[in-house]
Structure 1
């Protein structure tokens, strides 16, 4: 458990969970905080988990944890396996997540732009939002080069390892970034920048050129280009285009950048009232 946190509450894989950040403000209802923390635990760790594994992760007393889990199972927020001894995220969490995306004005305004960007590049397109030190994927357009379905919608990744995240971090000042990120950053691949000051140097270049690049820092073999949507300052949403390194030629890279700039301008106009 990190120093300074509330007892029994641990950060998620990619930084402090929203429930932990809220709880640190004080004046919160303990049972509500614990409920949200449990749901965030399951959301960040797919699959089924034993009571002992959950208890070790969140640190709650086993008896109260068991009663809370049983309540969430009865309400459909948590599911159990055939033995009734392992737990995972329930279908009601999906319904709430879907309603968030369906009701988001930026996602709705972005749909035509994402469709056109997908047609212009023929590559995988993402729309994501900055949440703390991570980005959460809100919409995806599949690459026209693959038949295998793939989506990151709802997935959470560290901002420092993605073009989307770096484009968004670049809209903050260096001092704001230093407050947001630890000195040593998580390594996802051998190419991930793990030094905060080195990342800050890269953010200066991103501000100058207007786009960010993920050079296999999140997934080996994949390069991504991202731009922030400046309908607010600092920006909270960005779009990206991902392409396998093996298929990336200088001409294709330039066409992707041009298409992203065009999409950014169109989406900026579409969200100017938000």
Structure 2
């Protein structure tokens, strides 16, 4: 427990040092935009569209303040207003995402690998990165199997129940893993790890092998395999490249996926600037 307390203390110190540089308006904008990111476990609609009143109620703001923020974000293209007076993510977000991907050659290589893997295996292939205590889907290619994982771009996926999430956790220290997962080990399928000890066993194995495999943890009958992507590939924290689909396939999809992922992992740098 000492390690957990020490890790929390260091984060609190960093937060205290940086708090003087925070602009309250920007922090509020961030809180508002976060509402447009779907949560996998909540079963949100594929394209999240929000009403002004719902946003205000969720954030605890009055309607006037919420309206001013929404109008400002709409004017710069970060949000769009629909014909029925709702709001959704706008074109500026897509433009910024394109610039983000183009800023790193390695990101382009990883995105090409997603396309190759999905085409060769028919499995859903995705990249997830650590953000706000969850794995956020950064890029994905939907598989063509009857059973696939629903992985909308920007979606938050539980760390403890997916191969990608465990590949991310394997790059963190034990204290940080415990803090991230405390109170979040919710059972989603028959094999979901709902105790910290069982999760830590999986993470220990992932650290040794550099590879993660799960079965019926996120959804019944769904298998997933993943490799870690070092911090700096997508954001400042760790990320993962994963394939998922039905556990039993008629072809060699899983064999191809594992071979390709392991080979790709061997080409990755240990640290990315």
Partner residue in 2 for 1:134 = 134
Matching residue of 1:206: 206
Residue equivalent to 1:222: 222
2:249 to 223, 247, 250: 247
Query: Cα RMSD between the aligned structures?
Result: 3.5
Contact 1:117 1:263 in 2 (8 A): no
Deviation at 1:109, TM superposition (A): 3.1
The one of 41, 48, 51 aligned to 2:35: 41
**For each residue in 1:208-260, what CA deviation from the matched residue of structure 2 results, as whole angstroms up to 9, or x when unmatched?**
3332123232233321111113578x9713222223123178x7645533332
TM-score by length of 2: 0.74
Counterpart of 2:161 in structure 1 is: 161
Structure 2 CA distance for aligned equivalents of residues 127 and 198 of structure 1: 24
Q: Which has the bigger relative contact order, CA under 8 A and spacing at least 6?
A: 2
Question: Gaps spanning 5+ residues in structure 2: where?
Answer: 1-13, 39-43
2:54 corresponding residue in structure 1: 53
Q: Contact 1:225/1:240 (CA < 8 Å) preserved in 2?
A: yes
Q: Distance between the aligned counterparts of 2:128 and 2:51, measured in 1? A: 32
Partner of 2:41: none
Q: Deviations over 1:20-69 (max 9, x none)?
A: x9799523222111112111112336433222211121112332122212
Aligned to 1:11: none
Query: Is 1:88 the equivalent of 2:88?
Result: yes
Tell me the SS of whatever aligns to 1:101: helix
CA distance in structure 1 between the aligned counterparts of 2:143 and 2:248, rounded to whole angstroms = 15
1:187 offset after TM fit, Å?
4.1
Report the secondary structure of 1:160's partner residue: coil
Q: For the Cα contact (< 8 Å) 1:212–1:225, is it kept in 2?
A: yes
Matched residue count: 248
**Structure 2 contact 145–246 (Cα < 8 Å) conserved:** no
| Alpha-carbon spacing, 1:102–1:151, altered in 2? closer, same or farther (3 Å) | farther
**Matched residues in 2 for 1:199 and 1:62: separation?**
43
TM-score by length of 1: 0.74
**Distance change (3 Å), C-alpha of 1:272 and 1:59:** closer
